[in-house]
């Protein structure tokens, strides 16, 4: 994995921290332990690791669910967010992706005016009906796009909004359960039609297509990030975005796209698709035992990215599609 040439730059990655000052618990299916307090300690260790890197990360990509929905129940949302964000104090810039747990704790309006809106000074988002998506270029030839996977959703959207109404219709067309958090089937892709997932609006898809067209022209290498995975082979299908197929066909129609990063499925996953795009679903900190960890540093080179994983996050060499 070692390379004689230094990378062009590096960046840190971490997902599903889901911090809460509560005792350990289990996931909904009772199959995985959740370490709510210890997730903060693992984030601190990740931060120490990034600070010790020879080439310090230019930024950290936080893939969503930074605090757990349980905070809302204890009226502790702001306190938990302040606690987690304080750990990042001495880090480089942090790019925050929004997941379902952001919306269990805060309204869209509150998120837009919070520290979790990292689009400030980028191409910014102005009102709560809009989607939270932006792009940035840390250095010449490389671009990152942050997507809003809950743009079409019944969590985080005002019940009076058109997006809520359309999302509820779509969800109910596919899921007839009274509790929409329960999947409509026990296996297969239809499982994704649950309330804790969401989708991308037509406007957001159009915007993404435009950003990627410009990146193609500029011959950039683009990494796209969202809380929800968009390739069925990179995740348990229950965690897929509702309209994953639409995003996927846009990504695959642009030569600039090299990698798609997501969280949500705490077991993690990886798949290289037919266009050579790497779909990386990051292991969640919340379900990582205290003696391990789940974060990485990505070393970006002209011809590939090298992920150096820690704990249960594996090392990976991500060659760019042109080098297939």
Ligand X SMILES: Nc1ccn([C@@H]2O[C@H](COP(=O)(O)OP(=O)(O)OC[C@H](O)CO)[C@@H](O)[C@H]2O)c(=O)n1
Residues that bind ligand X (CB under 6 A): 27-28, 65, 100, 181-182, 196, 238-239, 264-265
Q: Which is nearer to ligand X, 25 or 92 (CB)?
A: 25
Task: Give the whole-angstrom CA distance, residue 146 versus residue 224.
Answer: 6
Q: Which is nearer to ligand X, 79 or 182 (CB)?
A: 182
Q: Are 240 and 189 in contact (CB under 8 A)?
A: yes
Half-sphere exposure of 25 (CA within 13 A, CB side): 13
We find the least distance from the C-beta atom of residue 213 to ligand X, in angstroms, to be 32
Point out the residue whose Cβ comes nearest to ligand X: 181
Sheet holding 257-262, edge to edge: 134-139, 142-146, 221-225, 257-262, 278-281, 269-272
Q: Which is nearer to ligand X, 220 or 265 (CB)?
A: 265
We find the least distance from the C-beta atom of residue 101 to ligand X, in angstroms, to be 6
Q: Are 221 and 141 in contact (CB under 8 A)?
A: yes
We find the least distance from the C-beta atom of residue 2 to ligand X, in angstroms, to be 35
We find the least distance from the C-beta atom of residue 312 to ligand X, in angstroms, to be 16
Q: Which is nearer to ligand X, 7 or 237 (CB)?
A: 237
Nearest residue to 147 via CA among 247, 22, 264, 256: 247
Q: Which is nearer to ligand X, 65 or 151 (CB)?
A: 65
Task: Give the whole-angstrom CA distance, residue 194 versus residue 154.
Answer: 10
Would you state the structure tokens that stand for residue 212, as one six-digit string?
């990627």
We find the least distance from the C-beta atom of residue 182 to ligand X, in angstroms, to be 5
Q: Give residues with Cβ within 8 angstroms of 123, minimum separation 6.
A: 134, 135
Per DSSP bridges, beta strands 134-139 and 269-272 are unpaired
Q: Which is nearer to ligand X, 36 or 295 (CB)?
A: 36
We find the least distance from the C-beta atom of residue 310 to ligand X, in angstroms, to be 21
């Amino acid at each position: 994995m070692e390379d004689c040439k230094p990378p062009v730059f590096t960046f840190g990655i971490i997902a599903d921290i889901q911090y809460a000052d509560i005792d350990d618990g289990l996931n909904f299916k009772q199959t995985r332990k959740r370490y709510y307090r210890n997730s903060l300690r693992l984030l601190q260790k990740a931060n120490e690791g990034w600070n010790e890197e020879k080439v310090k990360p230019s930024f950290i990509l936080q893939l969503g669910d930074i605090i757990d929905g349980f905070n809302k129940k204890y009226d502790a949302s702001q306190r938990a967010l302040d606690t987690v964000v304080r750990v990042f104090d001495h880090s480089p810039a942090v790019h925050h992706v929004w997941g379902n747990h952001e919306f269990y704790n805060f309204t869209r309006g509150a998120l837009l005016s919070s520290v979790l809106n990292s689009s400030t000074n980028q191409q910014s988002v102005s009102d709560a009906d809009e989607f939270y998506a932006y792009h940035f270029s840390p250095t010449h030839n490389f671009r990152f796009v942050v997507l809003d996977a809950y743009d079409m959703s019944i969590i985080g959207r005002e019940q009076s909004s058109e997006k809520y109404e359309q999302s509820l219709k779509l969800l109910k067309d596919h899921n007839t359960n009274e509790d929409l958090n329960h999947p409509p089937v026990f296996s297969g892709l239809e499982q994704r039609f649950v309330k804790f997932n969401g989708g991308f609006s037509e406007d957001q898809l159009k915007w993404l297509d435009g950003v990627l067209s410009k990146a193609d022209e500029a011959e950039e290498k683009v990494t796209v990030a969202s809380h929800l995975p968009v390739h069925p082979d990179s995740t348990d299908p229950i965690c897929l975005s509702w309209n994953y197929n639409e995003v996927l066909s846009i990504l695959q129609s642009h030569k600039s796209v090299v990698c798609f990063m997501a969280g949500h499925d705490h077991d993690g996953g990886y798949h290289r698709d037919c266009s050579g795009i790497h779909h990386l679903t990051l292991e969640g900190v919340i379900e990582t035992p205290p003696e391990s960890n789940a974060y990485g540093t990505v070393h970006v080179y002209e011809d590939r990215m090298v992920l150096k994983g820690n704990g249960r996050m594996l090392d990976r060499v991500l060659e760019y599609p042109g080098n297939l």
